[in-house]
């Protein structure tokens, strides 16, 4: 619900009275291809299959404002002219005021449900990190974050907690695959996997960690394990903060993820961390 509301608000913010014809109302990126179909009206089947590629920028037309149907918000979209309707779950907000320089300063860019990264954004200073949870995979982070991670994992080990990297940098295309898979399995109202462009993993500064126990792997119960508790207490000392907590669930629109840490740099991490946990300074 929050997600749809936020999405609607963003579009409504740019909603001026439409001139005659198909006025441009906003731009959205298409997720998913070729399993989605354009439809003649909100939620009405039998439209032609679409031939746009995932990541295509579509125009949202103002003279047909978003409509609610089947519990979802639908947008009329096209390239040069309105071509059909798509539900919100098939569309991603494009980068808003994307500033390349905000990414050069590590940890600065805003990435959440409403602010996204362009499909072609990839950091240029990625390095491999470990220890790896799956030996045949190569996990990467931006250099500064990788260095901080190595220091953090060494400190955790010294305190008796061996941690493994289970996810690092993730390109737009990989996030798209994960998102589509989740939507297929859990429905279009799922709220655990971010849309492509809206995952902190695309920044190359977010890492998922595990203590190697399969039972708590990427599960909320990891937060109550000794290693999970160690991270909650010490991650900020190395410049990392937990992004999604019980406290900020309504704000972020994501369920708590005690395994997911984003590098902000030491200056910012403590504030971000305390804010996420709801602790007032
Ligand atoms: Zn993550």
Rounded Cα gap, residues 129 and 151, in angstroms: 12
The pLDDT value recorded for residue 90 is: 87
Residues 176 and 127 in one domain: yes
pLDDT tens for the chain, 281 residues: list them.
333 333 433 333 333 333 333 334 577 888 876 556 777 788 776 677 777 888 888 888 766 667 788 888 888 888 888 888 888 888 887 665 566 666 667 878 888 887 888 888 889 899 999 999 999 999 999 999 999 999 999 999 999 999 999 999 999 999 999 998 998 899 888 878 899 999 999 999 999 999 999 999 999 999 999 999 999 999 999 999 999 999 988 888 788 999 999 999 988 888 888 788 777 66
Domain containing residue 169: CATH number: 3.30.1380.10
Q: Are 228 and 258 in contact (CB under 8 A)?
A: yes
Give residue 18's domain range. 2-92
Residues 131 and 250 in one domain: yes
Catalytic residue among 72, 180, 200, 257: 257
Q: How many whole angstroms from 170 Cα to the centroid of ligand 1?
A: 10
pTM over 0.85: no
Rounded Cα gap, residues 130 and 132, in angstroms: 5
Residues 184 and 63 in one domain: no
Residues 141 and 222 in one domain: yes
Boundary-marking domain end, from 75, 92, 109: 92
Neighbours of 77 (CB within 10 A): 27
Rounded Cα gap, residues 200 and 280, in angstroms: 25
Q: How many whole angstroms from 37 Cα to the centroid of ligand 1?
A: 30
Q: How many whole angstroms from 129 Cα to the centroid of ligand 1?
A: 15
Residues 119 and 151 in one domain: yes
Ramachandran quadrant class, 97 (left: phi over 0; alpha: psi -120 to 50; beta: rest): left
Neighbours of 49 (CB within 10 A): 10
Domain containing residue 47: CATH number: 2.30.30
Rounded Cα gap, residues 281 and 4, in angstroms: 32
Reference 10, options 90, 116, 85; nearest CA is 116
Boundary-marking domain end, from 54, 74, 92: 92
Active-site residue 251, yes or no? no
Q: How many whole angstroms from 261 Cα to the centroid of ligand 1?
A: 7
Q: How many whole angstroms from 75 Cα to the centroid of ligand 1?
A: 29
Q: How many whole angstroms from 199 Cα to the centroid of ligand 1?
A: 8
Residues 21 and 150 in one domain: no
Residues 130 and 254 in one domain: yes
Q: Are 208 and 167 in contact (CB under 8 A)?
A: yes
Boundary-marking domain end, from 92, 108, 127: 92
Q: How many whole angstroms from 206 Cα to the centroid of ligand 1?
A: 6
Number of domains in the chain: 2
């Amino acid at each position: 619900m929050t997600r749809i509301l936020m999405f609607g608000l963003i579009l409504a913010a740019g909603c001026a009275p439409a001139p005659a014809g198909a006025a441009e109302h906003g731009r959205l990126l298409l997720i998913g291809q070729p399993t989605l179909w354009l439809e003649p009206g909100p939620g009405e089947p039998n439209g032609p299959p679409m031939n746009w590629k995932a990541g295509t920028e579509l125009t949202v037309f103002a003279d047909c404002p978003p409509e609610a149907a089947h519990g979802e918000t639908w947008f009329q979209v096209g390239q040069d002219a309105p071509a059909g309707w798509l539900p919100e779950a098939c569309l991603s907000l494009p980068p808003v005021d994307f500033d390349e320089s905000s990414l050069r300063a590590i940890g600065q860019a805003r990435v959440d449900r409403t602010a996204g990264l362009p499909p072609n954004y990839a950091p240029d200073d990625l390095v491999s990190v470990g220890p790896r949870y799956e030996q045949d995979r190569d996990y990467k982070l931006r250099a500064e974050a990788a260095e901080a991670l190595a220091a953090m994992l060494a400190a955790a080990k010294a305190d008796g907690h061996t941690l493994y990297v289970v996810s690092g940098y993730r390109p737009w295309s990989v996030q798209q695959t994960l998102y589509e898979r989740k939507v297929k399995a859990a429905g279009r109202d799922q709220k655990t996997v971010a849309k492509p462009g809206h995952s902190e993993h695309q920044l190359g500064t977010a890492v998922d960690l595990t203590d190697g126990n399969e039972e708590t792997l990427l599960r909320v119960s990891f937060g109550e394990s000794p290693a999970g508790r160690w991270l909650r207490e010490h991650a900020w000392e190395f410049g990392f903060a937990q992004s999604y907590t019980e406290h900020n669930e309504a704000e972020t629109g994501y369920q708590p993820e005690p395994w997911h840490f984003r590098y902000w740099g030491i200056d910012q991490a403590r504030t971000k961390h305390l804010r996420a946990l709801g602790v007032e300074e």
